[in-house]
Structure 1
Amino acid sequence: MIRGLRPLLRGSTYTGVLFAYAGALASLPLLPFALAPALAWRSAPEAARIVLVLLLWAVLIGSVGLARTTRRVLVAAARRLLRVPLPDPVADRAAGPADASGAAPSGAGRWRTPLWLLLHVLLGWAGALVSGLLILLGLSLPGNWLGGQVELDLFGRPLRVDGGWQSWVLALGCLLLAAAGCAAVTGALRWTAPRLLGPSPAERLALAAERELLLAERNRLAHELHDSIGHTLTAATIQAAVAGELLAADPAAARAALRSIEESARAALEDLDHVLGVLREERPGTAPTRTLSDLPELLDRLRHAGAVVEPELSGDLAQVPGTLSRAAYRILQEGLTNALRHGGGGPIEVRVAAGADGLELGVVNRTGAAPGTGPGAFPTTGHGLPGLAERVRLLHGEIDFGPAGPRHWRLAVRLPVRLPA
């Protein structure tokens, strides 16, 4: 008994009914357009004219539901007033883009919104008429609670109610029936909203694709942040040690090392602020782009850290496509960071060769220990080399790393590219 009365006591029941009533009122401006043909067809029977008006009215209401804006408004209102969890509408990628008029894409899912809008208006009018009549009846009966007799005409049948407690019971019953009607209208709208306003199968696929893209973008941002922050911390640590050693003997060199630390930290801070902003806003973004054109600056920061860098650049690096150029920069940054962190001193050889059908990258450094052992060898655990291998695999490239002769370690990457003629 109490469980059955709970829907009648919820505020969301009556906000849902107001939503239904609003749909009924919103359909009124379309009624004159449906009446016009029936008024012009005066020779038709009255029943045929009524049917014509109702059909034209339904067609006009349904046509409003074809607009993409209508569905967005209905979804937002259903979330707020019906308390139904509905995702934002997604363009039906399987059906093609919308036309210039802003109508929703064609397809089986196109008629779901007009159908729901028609049901919404129908429930709104039915609920308004039935509940309004019951409320009016329930409020008119208390005038006879002190005595007298009430005569009602229900569907052509007279109903005589004596005053006193019978009027009280009838008034209370009418009000409860009105509340139950409100709950029934709201329940019907809640049940149909996810089925007709919710995502169609094609939209579910589109939502899944968007989530996959978002996860892939965040994974890429994590790689970018790992590369940038890892390189900056490694270079800054070494540069700080160099500055401490040279502070008394060569103040100018120490100041240069400190300036390099400042520049590296500022660049890494920009990357960090961007990634954190994207994660806070929960939307994909584009990380600060660094390409092979920024390679000289990267090599200068290594030189300020005390490393001896021997670059060998060939080909027109400016003609390398943007996506490939950005990936190549991050690959070289990770390789140079590992060489700086784990190398045993000596020059670091950097090779970049841009050809007509491929981009070759290489980093060779001294290990300071037996080949493939000791601190000079790149670690094979963590995020460095696995991240590089994944990045190269996504670009359909080839990667090779390991000992290269006595006390040397080599990272070699080849990325396929078709440079513009």
Structure 2
Amino acid sequence: MPGFLRPLTRAVTYTRWLHVLMGSVIAWICAAIHPGLPVPTPAAWLPVLVVPVPLVVAAAMVPAVRRAEGLQARLMLFPGAHPRGGDRHARVAEVAEDPGVSVTPSASWRDRARTAVWLVLRLEVGVATALATAQLLGLALTLVGSADPVAVPLSLLPVLVVLVLMVVGGHLMARAARRLLGPSPAERLAALEQRTEQLLERNRIARELHDSIGHALTVAVVQADAARAAGDPAFTDRALEAVAESGRAALEDLERVLRILREDERPAGARPTLLDAERLVGSARASGAQVDAEMTGPLERVPGPVSREGYRMLQEALTNVLRHSGPVPVELRVAVDDARLVMDVRNALLSPSGATGRGGSGLRGIRERAALLGGRATTGPHDGAWQVHVELPLR
């Protein structure tokens, strides 16, 4: 099918034309009252274009009108992608991209003014389109009914003009809708803030899964390798118990994260805090690491967000020790005072050069968590050992 005829095969062309015509309804109601639909002369029809204007401007001052117009525009001017008539395998409807038309009530006088301009534009264009369509189709019927054989082919010209008006007029009205009913700067800022919050939440969930599942899998791998190398039934039993405990903890975290993703109305469950740090230490010890842990200060007074993120940082630090250095001696220090939380995890370097390969997303996640809480984190070789040092403010 020629490209210039394709718009005539799309339903959106006709829904836009209908939307334009609907904008003139108020004008015909007013014309029926005054001047009473007299003989159609330009002077008599002029009030049809003028009398309804104050009414639509007054309606635009109602905040809900903007929402109603936005919904109409989305439904009829941007109803989504439509298959072409000759495509048998095309889907009946496809998901369309955001049309750029707001569906929120007017929040400012600027929004009301834009809505008023839109309503007046719909009124005037609707009346002009209705009159032009009626006159052109009437002319086509007159030519078809005439006795002149030349007039019959000429009757196609008015129909062609009507079709061009439908396509071009609908396209222009769709562009006008984006400009006049589009989001205001405040709405765009709110949408951007919401999008930013969603991205931050996704990143947080990704870190949660990385830390929890990564820790469980690391413990399982280390324990399995150690049990196979030891060949001791008693050690194998302890290793399997540690693997089972780590797996259960990871499943709890996974279920909690999945409930958040499903937007379940039930509470997602409490996230572990520094008060649960003994579980991490026990898991690392069960994996063969010699953990020398020292925790000083009132851990229960650490604010919830700091305590929860601190737990995840310790988890990632111990996971990195097991993953990259294996069951080696580890020094773990957690100290709390009136102003800050300090955590320090150190383990011996296996390579004298200090190269450990620990440059992945886990350590980067520790630094990102610390920065979001207003603190700082440093990771890397220090005095012949690998160190993860974190300082977080309590206020």
TM-score bucket of the superposed structures, by smaller chain = 0.7 to 0.9
Letter of the structure 2 residue corresponding to residue 86 of structure 1: P
Alignment of 1:105-184 (within 5 A): 105-139=107-141, 141-144=143-146, 163-184=147-168
| 8 A Cα contact 1:234 1:341, kept in partner | yes
Letter of the structure 2 residue corresponding to residue 69 of structure 1: R
2:348 to 363, 366, 390: 366
- Residue in 2 aligned with 1:397? 375
Letter of the structure 2 residue corresponding to residue 124 of structure 1: G
SS of 2:78's equivalent? helix
CA distance, structure 2, for counterparts of residue 396 and residue 183 of structure 1 = 57
Please, what is the CA RMSD of the aligned residues? Answer: 4.1
- Residue in 2 aligned with 1:70? 68
Report how many residues are paired. Answer: 365
Corresponding position: 1:253 with 2:238: yes
User: Residues 188-207 of structure 1, C-alpha deviation per residue, up to 9 Å, x if partnerless?
Assistant: 31231222123344444444
- Percent sequence identity is 35
Following superposition, the deviation at residue 106 of structure 1 comes to 0.9
Corresponding position: 1:187 with 2:187: no
CA distance, structure 2, for counterparts of residue 121 and residue 363 of structure 1 = 72
- Residue in 2 aligned with 1:305? 287
Corresponding position: 1:262 with 2:242: no
Alignment of 1:207-218 (within 5 A): 207-218=191-202
1:383 to 361, 375, 384: 361
- Residue in 1 aligned with 2:312? 330
CA distance, structure 2, for counterparts of residue 402 and residue 183 of structure 1 = 65
Following superposition, the deviation at residue 324 of structure 1 comes to 1.8
SS of 2:155's equivalent? helix
Corresponding position: 1:57 with 2:39: no
CA distance, structure 1, for counterparts of residue 29 and residue 288 of structure 2 = 79
Alignment of 1:308-323 (within 5 A): 308-323=290-305
CA distance, structure 2, for counterparts of residue 258 and residue 10 of structure 1 = 60
Following superposition, the deviation at residue 358 of structure 1 comes to 0.6
Alignment of 1:14-53 (within 5 A): 14-25=14-25, 27=26, 53=51
Following superposition, the deviation at residue 70 of structure 1 comes to 1.9
2:333 to 334, 351, 354: 351
Corresponding position: 1:296 with 2:295: no
Corresponding position: 1:87 with 2:100: yes
SS of 1:165's equivalent? coil
| 8 A Cα contact 1:66 1:110, kept in partner | no
CA distance, structure 1, for counterparts of residue 269 and residue 111 of structure 2 = 36
User: Residues 74-116 of structure 1, C-alpha deviation per residue, up to 9 Å, x if partnerless?
Assistant: 342232179895236387xxxxxxxxxxx42115344223322
SS of 2:359's equivalent? coil
SS of 2:390's equivalent? strand
Q: Give me the TM-score of the superposition, normalised by structure 2.
A: 0.74
| 8 A Cα contact 2:340 2:393, kept in partner | yes
CA distance, structure 1, for counterparts of residue 148 and residue 47 of structure 2 = 46
Following superposition, the deviation at residue 271 of structure 1 comes to 7.1
CA distance, structure 2, for counterparts of residue 9 and residue 348 of structure 1 = 72
| Structure 1 runs not aligned, ≥5 long | 37-45, 92-102, 145-162
Name whichever of 220-229 and 81-90 sits farther off.
81-90
Following superposition, the deviation at residue 236 of structure 1 comes to 1.3
Q: Greater CA radius of gyration, 1 or 2?
A: 1
SS of 2:389's equivalent? strand
User: Residues 364-395 of structure 1, C-alpha deviation per residue, up to 9 Å, x if partnerless?
Assistant: 2333564x636xxx545222333323332333
| Structure 2 runs not aligned, ≥5 long | 35-43, 82-95
User: Residues 289-345 of structure 1, C-alpha deviation per residue, up to 9 Å, x if partnerless?
Assistant: 443243233233223323333332233333322322222122111111122223464
